[in-house]
Every structure is written in structure tokens, then in C-alpha cells.
Chains A and B, each alone.
Chain A
Amino acid sequence: MGRFRVRCAGGALFLVPVFALLACVTVPRSPQAGDASPSNSPGQPRFPGTRCEDLADLRFYFTGDAFLRRAEELIRDARDYILIDSFLVNEDEKGKYVFELLRRKMEQNVRVYILTDASSGFVPGRTGIPFLVRMGIPVTEFNPMRGSRLARMPLFLYRDHRKFWLVDGETVALGGQNIWSISLNPPEQSGNTDSMVEFRSATACRELVGSFVREWNAYSMDKLRAEDFPVPPGPGEGGLSAWLVHQDGQRVVGEMFGRLLDAAREEVWLVQDYLMPDRAMIERIRRLSASGVRVNILFSGAYSFLDKFHYATGYRKLALIRAGARLWEYGHPLSHLHYKAVIVDERWFAIGSVNLNFRSAWLSKELNLLFEGREMGTPMLENLEFLVSHSRPISSEQAAGYRGGKYLLYYLLLFLGG
């Protein structure tokens, strides 16, 4: 009986990591009934996320230097506060430049707070967190990955992949650009080809202020209050079909892709270099192609330090071609295509931090803007035309060469960890 007891207790002890792992996979949750935007028009796909009818002043930035120039203006013109959530912050040339601008702005009594993911410590270069602390800029790290948290190991997989700037509760900029030289350098200097989209929307600002403060308070002992970051009424007149697809505790990314692909009648463009499709996604593409929808997927041709993604994404390229997709490789010799977008029938547009892979769907906080309207999406269409004109198709023969052991290994590794 004593042995039985000891075994039971040992079993209970074993349950600790098992349940911790289960806890990991419970995040993010599926949306509850009614979470999806309730105000979709009849016939519109029922997109997940927050409907931002008050959205206005949409602007796009498709290179790092273009957004850096705009970031300088945003910082310069800020009057009250700047909240930044950046997946990566780095103590390199462009990172230090942005931080110095922010520090000077703080001297003018503008409040600045930066949230960043702990992943900054695991990429080339120095994480910018100690530098920010030395400069006196309030910074907090999401889900720190340190020896002291080792017992939380399975949960290290859960990351905050969002990149957004929130200025004075009026202006939001979100997308794929981190605060480091690799994002903010021009493509000619090996900066990523990446995007940020800027807009004004009180609805979006309120949601992002709340999310920022919640996350900040969870990881910092210097607590914030959401009511200290006022959000004035938005400038938009209402009626716009735009959604903030915000995965922050609820699983909305997979649903966003599903609804967008279901809406396709003619042509889909997936600008998704980190696309690592599972069988269900390949089958969905096969069905779309069979129904006459042209599915195009644009990958990067240059990878800088991220060549592991060439292997990870390469493994499924042949399957995608066989499913009917047309694959393209962006031909810039220096610039990694980090831009993440979906364009459906030149009518539906999604842009932000979301990759079409398991990690984005299940293991990351993500943020996208999704909207309807060819006119609003014209800059994305023009940019797509530019990218495609500098791209080459990926042939079946080329894709067949991506089926080696190294490709499979990276595919398996990065499926979870990418």
C-alpha cells in the first residue's frame, strides 16, 4: 500500500510538467460566441476581431527607411504619450537612434513606454532592453526567458509577436517592423522589405491601450492605469469595413485566414515568407485552385541571417505547387521579404504581423489590420505589382530540390519554434 501511495504521488508530481504543457496549449483560446464582430453587413465574411468603423487616414510604409522617417515625425509631434510594443528591440545603430529620439521626447514631458518580447536576447546583436533601462526609458519584457524562469519552459514558446506604435491615443502604426537596423534600414543596405500601416481609429486605440496596460502590468512592478492614457474620439465618419484582428488571448489568426480564403472568388496573394502550411492548409489551397481561384504565394529570395527559414519553408513548396498554387521568389539580392500580407480579389486586404503558420495561429500574440475596399488597398496593390515585377516563379523542379533532410529538419524545428 505504501508503494502504491508513493507511486501515486510520483504520478501526481509527473503531472506538473504535463499540465504546464496543457496550460501552454490553452493559449490562445478560441473566440467565445459573439466575440466576432457583430456588425458585418449581410453577405460579408464574418471576420474575427474588432470592427473599426471609425478608421481613417490610412497610410502605408513598405520599407524600413520610409517608416523610420514617419516614426521621427510621430515622435516629434507626440504631445502626451507614446506606447510601443515591438517584438524585437536591439541596441544597434537604428535602434539606438529611435531610443534617443524617444528619450529626448520624454524630456518634453511626453510619456514613453516600450513593451518587447524576450526574443530580443536570442537574435543577432545585443538586446536593447539594458540600453533602454540605462537611458531611463520605461521598458518591460514579455514572458522573460531566463534561468530563473526555467520551470516555465514549455510556456517559453508563447511569444508577443506584435509590432505597434500608439501615439496620443489617436494614431496607430502596426505591421512587421521591429526596432532594429534589420527592419529600419533601407533595402539597399540589407534592410528587410517590410511594411507598417498607419491609421487613426479610437476603437483600435482603446483596444490597444487596454491590451498594452494589461500586459505591462503582468510583467512590470511599475503598474500603469489604462485611464491615464486617454483616447479622444476618432476622426472617421463610420461605416468602413475594417477590423483589428488582434490575437491577445483569443485565437483569431486561423479564423482570419480561413474567412479570407473562403471569400476568394478569383485570385489570392499571400505575401508570406514564413508560410509553413500543414496538410489542412494545403488541402484548402487545392480546393481553391480546383474551383478556379488563382492562389499566388510570394516568398523571399534573400534571407540575411534567417536562412533557416529558406529551409523550413522550402520543404512544403512542392506540395503547394502540386496543390495548384503559383509560387514566387522575390528577387532582391539583399533584402529579406518580411512583409506579411493577404490580398483577396483586390477587395480584401490584411496586413500586419501575422504569418501563415502554426506559430502565429497558436503560439503568439499577433496584430493585423484587415479591411475591404480596392481604393483603400491601392497602395498595397501597387506595392504588390512592384514586388511581383521583381520576382521569379518557383518551378516544380526547383521546389523538388527542397525536399532534403535539412529542409525537413528545419521545417519540423521551426513549425513550433519559428
Chain B
Amino acid sequence: MRFAGVLLSLFLAAAAQGHCLGEAKPWAGGFYIETCGFSDTGLLPAAGCLSAGLFLEPFAWPAFNPAIFSGILLPVAPFQKEALALRLGAELTLFDTPAPWLRQAFYTALRWSPALGAGMLYRLDGSALRFTLAASPLRIRAGDAVFTLGGFELLFDAEGSARGWGAVVFKAALFLF
């Protein structure tokens, strides 16, 4: 727990010192907020969860662009603060490709940017640890943000046995620095 707090504080302190909003080029990171849920009662109760944290995407590669993230996950509907969990992992953007079909709905030039990921969920009371594999097929990248709709996750325990699944309803990763 203290490690998680220290880690998050360090990330946040780094963000606070950054040249945010376009002063550093290309963007290197920011923070994310996501709504998600899990079907694994050994990890979390059945609830809508909110996760928030920081991410780093140090490169701006057009394909296989890696990013890492770390944050906190909390069941909020219903609210259950005792189930607070640490969430961290890595994400690999497979490619960025122009999405002119999105131009019909949004005037920003967006790109389709699907990703695969792997990570970890750790209950801060020490009661559960899960490893995750994730796919985000419907992921849209704007200049200053990456939005994910309907991502999927598979959950595994420390022995590698499948324990359940999760779904990301919406994730907004907003670049800050």
C-alpha cells in the first residue's frame, strides 16, 4: 500500500513539474480515467468501478507504440472503499490509422488506434492479486487524448489460472506533459 501511494505520488509530482498542454513535444504522458467492471468475485465485488491514474507514452511511434500506466481502482456503484485496488500495466498501440468515417461525427482528425495490453490488479488489503490481458479494439486517438470504448480483459491468478473477465466501458487518457 505504501509503495502504491509513493509510486502514485511520484508520478503525480512528475506531472506537476511537467510542461503541460503542449509545451513538451511530442506528448509523453498524462492521466487517465476509466469506468469498468469485473466478473471475478475473488478480486472485486460486483460493482461499477472507477479507475484513475497516470500513464507514460514516451514514444510517438506510428505502430507498436508502448505505454505504461499506474493508478487506483475503486468500486463506486455501489461504493466500497475497502475494495480499493492498485492497477498497473503496459499497453501496446498496434497502429494508428486515419479514420475518415469518424470525421462524419467529429470535426477533430481522429485515428483508429487499437491496442493490446497486460497488467496487474492488486487489492490493497492484500486479499487478491490478478494478472490481466487486455484488448481495446475500439480505441480512438486524438492529438491530445486517447479514448477507449468497450475494451475487454481476461483475469488470471498468480498460478496462471483464468479467474474471470473484465470490461472497460469508457477510458479517457488525457495527455498533460
Contact = CB atoms under 8 A, between A and B. Distances in A.
Interface residues of B, number: 50
Interface stretch (A97-105, A141-149, A325-333): A141-149
Interface in B30-59: 31, 33, 52-53
Contacts of B21: 27, 143, 155, 158, 218
A249 B111 contact: no
Contacts of A130: 107
Nearest to A219: B143
Nearest to A213: B25
A40 interface: no
A129 B26 CA distance: 24
A13 B18 CA distance: 19
A221 B143 contact: yes
B157 interface: no
Given A5-B125, A149-B174, A218 B144 contact: yes
A304 interface: no
B22 A215 contact: yes
A23 B16 contact: yes
B152 interface: no
A290 interface: no
Nearest to B96: A221
Contacts of B90: none
A148 B111 contact: no
The secondary-structure label for the interface of chain A is helix
B167 interface: no
A15 B12 contact: yes
Best-surrounded residue of B12, B13, B17 (most CB of chain A within 10 A): B12
Given A8-B2, A12-B8, A151-B31, A221 B142 contact: yes
B63 interface: no
A26 interface: yes
B77 interface: no
B128 interface: no
Contacts of B23: 27-28, 248-249
A9 interface: yes
B147 interface: yes
Given A9-B4, A141-B108, A15 B9 contact: yes
Interface of A: 2, 5-6, 8-13, 15-16, 19-20, 22-24, 26-29, 129-130, 133, 140-144, 148-149, 151-152, 155, 158, 214-215, 217-222, 248-249
